Amino acid sequence: MTTILTVEKVCKQYPGVTALDHVDFSLEQGEVRALLGKNGAGKSTLVKVLSGAIRPDSGVIAIDGRPVIFDRPQDAFHQGISTVYQEMSLVPGLTVAENILLGRWPMRRLLGISFVARKQIMQTAKLALDQLEVEIPLDELVAHLNVAQQQLVEIAKAISFDPRVMILDEPSSALPSEEVETLHKVVRRLAAQGRAVIYVTHRLQEIPRVADSVTVLRDGRHIGTIPVAEATPEQITTMMIGADWQRTQWRRDAEVGEVKLAVKGLNRAGKLHDIAFEVRGGEVLGLAGLLGSGRTELLRSIFGLDAIDSGEIVVKGRPIAHPSPLTMKANGVGLTPEDRKKQGLVLVFPVRDNLTLASLHRVSHGGILQPAQEEALAQEMVANMAIKTPSLSVTTNTLSGGNQQKVVIGNWLNTLPDVLIMDEPTRGIDIQAKEQIFTLVRDLARQGLAVLFVSSEIEEVLDVSDRILIINQGRITGAVTHDEITLEQLMALAMEELVP
The answer to whether residue 253 is domain-embedded is no
d(CA 469, CA 266): 15
What angle (nearest 5°) sits at the alpha carbon of residue 225, between those of residues 224 and 226? 120
In the beta sheet, which residues pair with residue 419?
333, 450
pTM of the model: 0.63
End residue of a domain, out of 241, 274, 294: 241
End residue of a domain, out of 192, 215, 241: 241
Half-sphere exposure of 62 (CA within 13 A, CB side): 15
Residues 52 and 122 in one domain: yes
Instruction: State the residue range of the domain holding 336.
Output: 259-495
Look up residue 233 and give its DSSP letter. Answer: H
Residues 188 and 294 in one domain: no
Is beta strand 113-116 parallel, antiparallel or unpaired with respect to 107-110?
antiparallel
Is the CB of residue 90 less than 8 Å from the CB of residue 142?
A: yes
Residues 395 and 429 in one domain: yes
State the first-to-last Cα distance of the chain, in angstroms, to the nearest integer: 38
CA dist 53 to 71, 74, 81, 91, Å? 8, 9, 12, 21
Residues 169 and 217 in one domain: yes
Residues 38 and 12 in one domain: yes
d(CA 330, CA 328): 5
d(CA 210, CA 36): 13
Look up residue 341 and give its DSSP letter. Answer: I
d(CA 341, CA 397): 9
Residues 344 and 410 in one domain: yes
The answer to whether residue 196 is domain-embedded is yes
Which CATH number does the domain housing residue 310 bear? 3.40.50.300
Is the CB of residue 116 less than 8 Å from the CB of residue 105?
A: yes
The answer to whether residue 251 is domain-embedded is no
Residues 164 and 50 in one domain: yes
Confidence at residue 370, expressed as pLDDT on a 0 to 100 scale: 92
Sign of CA dihedral 358, 364, 365, 369: negative
Helices (H), 71-215: 73-78, 96-100, 118-132, 147-159, 177-192, 207-210
d(CA 252, CA 68): 55
Residues 160 and 277 in one domain: no
> What is the number of H-type helices and E-type strands within the chain?
16, 24
Residues 324 and 209 in one domain: no
Residues 334 and 458 in one domain: yes
Residues 181 and 232 in one domain: yes
d(CA 234, CA 443): 34
Complete DSSP assignment for 14-53: ETTEEEEEEEEEEEETT-EEEEE--TTSSHHHHHHHHHTS
Confidence at residue 176, expressed as pLDDT on a 0 to 100 scale: 62
The answer to whether residue 248 is domain-embedded is no
- Burial class from Cβ neighbours inside 10 Å (0-12, 13-18, 19+) for residue 114 reads exposed
The helix or strand, by DSSP H or E, that contains position 444, with its residue range, turns out to be: helix 431-446
The answer to whether residue 131 is domain-embedded is yes
The answer to whether residue 83 is domain-embedded is yes
Is beta strand 310-315 parallel, antiparallel or unpaired with respect to 113-116?
unpaired
The answer to whether residue 94 is domain-embedded is yes
End residue of a domain, out of 241, 272, 291: 241
The answer to whether residue 447 is domain-embedded is yes
**What is the domain count for the chain?**
2
pLDDT tens string, the chain, 500 residues long: the values are 699 999 999 999 987 778 899 999 999 999 999 998 876 688 889 999 999 999 999 999 999 999 999 999 999 999 999 998 877 789 999 999 999 998 888 888 888 888 888 899 999 999 988 888 888 999 999 999 887 888 889 889 988 888 999 999 888 766 666 678 888 888 999 999 999 999 998 777 788 889 999 999 988 999 999 999 988 877 887 888 776 655 556 565 657 889 999 999 999 998 899 999 999 999 999 998 877 788 889 999 999 999 999 999 999 999 998 899 999 999 999 999 988 888 899 999 999 999 999 999 999 988 898 999 999 999 999 998 888 888 999 999 888 778 898 999 999 999 999 999 999 888 767 656 777 888 889 889 999 999 999 987 788 888 899 999 999 888 999 899 888 888 878 877 877 755 44
Residues 361 and 423 in one domain: yes
Half-sphere exposure of 243 (CA within 13 A, CB side): 2
Q: Which of 11, 16, 21, 14 is nearest to 223 (CA)?
A: 21
Q: What is the pLDDT of residues 455-486, one digit of tens each?
A: 877 888 888 999 999 998 889 998 998 888 88
